[in-house]
Amino acid sequence: MTTVYIVRHGETDLNRLYRFIGSTDHPLNERGIAQVETLREPMSKFHLDRIYSSPLKRTMMTAERIQNGRDIEIIPVPDIKEIHCGGWETLNRDEIEAKWPGQIELWEKKPDLLHMEGGETFLQVQERAIRGIIDIVNRERGNSIAIACHMLTIQLIMAKLLRVPIRDVWEMVRLENTSITTMNIEDNGDFEVVRWADDSHLPDELKNANVKIAGIHNTSFDAKYDITDVEGKHHFDGFAI
């Protein structure tokens, strides 16, 4: 059995301002650093053979807190980077709507139809991210690993594993900054989501009152695919030897 802990990075200033950060390489802000510091205690309880990370600063800084001074290699994996937003990078929803009318509505309601100018589609991100995850799992059969990653990338990975259509990717339970998703993967392709988006290590003052997605300012959210849909046993042929 292979155990995987997928961890979302901490907050950046562009997250705080609801701007599209995508592949822009911003570090964690002061609050984000405080958030990732809270990972040290829960992640130190887990034996880890290796840590994989998106190569961007915000995820590498998160991976270093997961490492917590232990002699564990951190390996950057470009395939699990966040979506490249092209011309949208660093803009907010009003600026995007002014330049590309109607595109924000696709982002929120029909992401499977969206192709940001100069950027990636959601399907392109999902395909490369799944390729990256399969490669990591194949390299680490029988081991225990952590992966520092990004909200949309994680959502797209899990949507593929759980057979959730890309159109519904925003309808899954939200991932708080530094939340930990735990999976156990068998060599026959069976896997169990043991815990989805666990943020119990975060004190209330470091949690977000709003749904922190660029352009989306929800203060409440009812997931179409809730914890009962996500946690539990599933199968993914791509994990099978």
What confidence score (pLDDT) does residue 45 get? Answer: 96
Q: What single DSSP character describes residue 173?
A: P
Cα end-to-end distance, the chain, whole Å: 12
Virtual CA dihedral for 86, 88, 90, 91, nearest 10 degrees?
Answer: 170
CATH (residue range 2-239): 3.40.50.1240
Angle of helix 122-139 versus helix 151-162 axis, rounded to 10? 80
| Domain chopping of the chain, boundaries | 2-239
What confidence score (pLDDT) does residue 212 get? Answer: 52
The pTM score is: 0.95
- Mean pLDDT per 10-residue run, the chain (241 residues)? 97 91 95 98 97 98 98 98 97 95 94 97 98 98 98 96 95 90 98 96 87 55 82 98 94
Virtual CA dihedral for 120, 121, 125, 126, nearest 10 degrees?
Answer: -170
Distances (CA, A) of 189 to 56, 74, 137, 231, 235: 30, 26, 11, 16, 5
Which amino acid, residue 141? R
What confidence score (pLDDT) does residue 213 get? Answer: 59
Residue pair 143/2 in contact by the 8 Å Cβ criterion: yes
**What are phi and psi for residue 232, nearest 5 degrees?**
120, -170
What confidence score (pLDDT) does residue 193 get? Answer: 98
